[in-house]
Amino acid sequence: MTAITEALRRLPKVELHCHVEGTMRPSTVVELASKNEIELPTSDPTQLYRYTSLDTFLEIFWLVQSVLGDGDDWARLAYESAVDGAEHGLVYRESFFTPARHLDAGQDLGDIVAGLAEGCVAAEEATGVRIMLIADIDRAYGPGPGLEMVQRLVELRRANAPGTDRVLGIGLDSTELGVDPTDFAPAFELAGRSGLRRTSHQGEVTPPTTIRAGVDVLGCERIDHGLSLLDDPELTQRFVDERIPLTVCPNSNIRIANAYPRLELHPYARMRELGLLATLNTDDPALTDLDLTYEYRSVMDAFGYTWDDMVTIALDGVEGSWLDPTDAGALRARITADADQLASSLATG
């Protein structure tokens, strides 16, 4: 590992767009499938991790999701996810989980949240990484189940159920094509009234009108992916002026959505040139053979960024987060101090 790659690995990082199910180790997929009597098409799940579109990726994502049978499985997943992230400088993550398929199969949302929280606590004790949660609505199940999930989450929070203090907000993910995001407005309106933060996946394979709907109809405070935003200059300028965060996943957009043939053609650099608060994230790292070190190093190389540019990107992750001002300030100070030390080692190395 080169000195700059090692420095990027050690640079403290925030991640705002990562699906916990998409961090599942291949060995864990196999072991949980055996435990829960789920038949896999192969004993090596990595053979399945090749995608031609978002929807073909989702077929594998749903298969991986299916091996999570109980709260203990969710706890193991959360623990391993955080430990693996810590190896690549992760210090804070707001992690998505998408429970629709499990709720449909009879699991209880309270058990899922409690399991995730248990794993997060164990990982924090082991690594110091702080993990918070975002409950994602699965578009494929429609607005009715989405609203029911939010209603149940609100009930659990009011009852101070285990782990619910870690659930910061809700999101909207899964297939984008043929789905009107405004259909989910009642669920997002309830979430907002109940003090939950709001984000949604928009514009990965859909036009900027869906991004506008995300902020204007769903009340989202940030947008996940948002690739088509630049097709609407007026909306782009609004995002710049209002500092609405984008949680961008450049390598995922290539490996999952096949949106660009190579990283150099991704609009990430253009987003940042225009002044957008475009954060850097992995999305589903275990299903795409990614990690935060690779994400940072490949983006640095593709766009000719300097060390200072990468530190700014790390700091922008803090700005885009839902941390309170005190915690955000402390994390910015930590990143800056560690970055200065790493820069000194690079200069003398």
pLDDT band at 42; cut points 50, 70, 90? confident
Other residues' Cβ atoms within 10 Å of the Cβ of residue 30: 17
d(CA 226, CA 246): 6
Tokens of 100: 């629709």
For 186-226, how does the pLDDT look when each residue is reduced to its tens digit (9 = 90+)? 999 999 999 999 999 999 999 999 999 999 999 999 999 99
Structural domains present in the chain: 3-337 (3.20.20.140)
Identify which of 189, 73, 90 has the alpha carbon closest to the alpha carbon of residue 132. Answer: 90
What pLDDT does 264 receive? 98
| Partner residues linked to 221 by β-bridges | none
Summarised one tens digit per residue, pLDDT across range 287-320 is 999 999 999 999 999 999 999 999 999 999 999 9
Q: How confident is the model at residue 335 (pLDDT cuts 50, 70, 90)?
A: very high
Angle between the N-to-C axes of helices 208-216 and 233-242, in degrees from 0 to 180, rounded to the nearest 10: 40
Q: Which two tokens stand for residue 179?
A: 């789905």
Residue with tokens 């275990």: 286
Instruction: Report the percentage of the chain scoring pLDDT > 70.
Output: 99
pLDDT in tens, 96-137: 999 999 999 999 999 999 999 999 999 999 999 999 999 999
| Percent of the chain surpassing pLDDT 90 | 91
Question: What would the mean pLDDT of 156-165 be, rounded to a whole number?
Answer: 98
Q: Residue 133's CB: how many other CB atoms inside 10 A?
A: 24
Report d(CA 311, CA 232) in Å as an integer.
29
Helix (H), strand (E) at residue 199: strand 197-202
- Annotated catalytic residues are 204
pLDDT in tens, 219-245: 999 999 999 999 999 999 999 999 999
Give residue for tokens 């394979």. 205
* Residue 243 in tokens: 């500092």
Residue 204 sits at the vertex; the CA angle it makes with 199 and 205, to the nearest 5 degrees, is 135
> What pLDDT was estimated at residue 136?
98
How many Å apart are CA 273 and CA 337, to the nearest integer? 25
Give the mean pLDDT of 324-349. Answer: 94
What per-residue confidence (pLDDT) applies to 257? Answer: 87
**CA dihedral of 258, 263, 265, 268, whole degrees rounded to 10:** 100
Q: How far apart are CA 202 and CA 274, in angstroms?
A: 19
pLDDT at 177: 87
Q: How far apart are CA 334 and CA 126, in angstroms?
A: 19
| CA-closest candidate to residue 268, choices 248, 252, 288, 285 | 248
CA distance linking residue 93 with residue 23, whole number of Å: 13
Residue 226 pLDDT: 98
Token readout for 25 is: 């180790």
Nearest to 322 by CA among 225, 227, 196: 196
The rounded mean pLDDT for the chain is: 96
Q: Is pLDDT at 337 greater than 80 in this prediction?
A: yes
In the structure, what pLDDT confidence band is assigned to residue 349 with cuts at 50, 70 and 90? Answer: low
pLDDT exceeds 80 at position 75:
yes
Task: Please write down the HEC assignment for all residues of 140-181.
Answer: HHCHHHHHHHHHHHHHHHHCCCCCHHHEEEEEEECCCCCCCH
Average pLDDT of span 330-339: 98
Using CA atoms, how far apart are residues 273 and 269, in angstroms rounded to an integer?
6
Which residues make beta-bridge pairs with 172? Answer: 137
Name the more confident of 1 and 79: 79
Q: Taking 90 as the threshold, does the pLDDT of residue 48 lie above it?
A: no
- Determine the Cα–Cα distance for residues 246 and 230; give it in Å rounded to an integer: 12
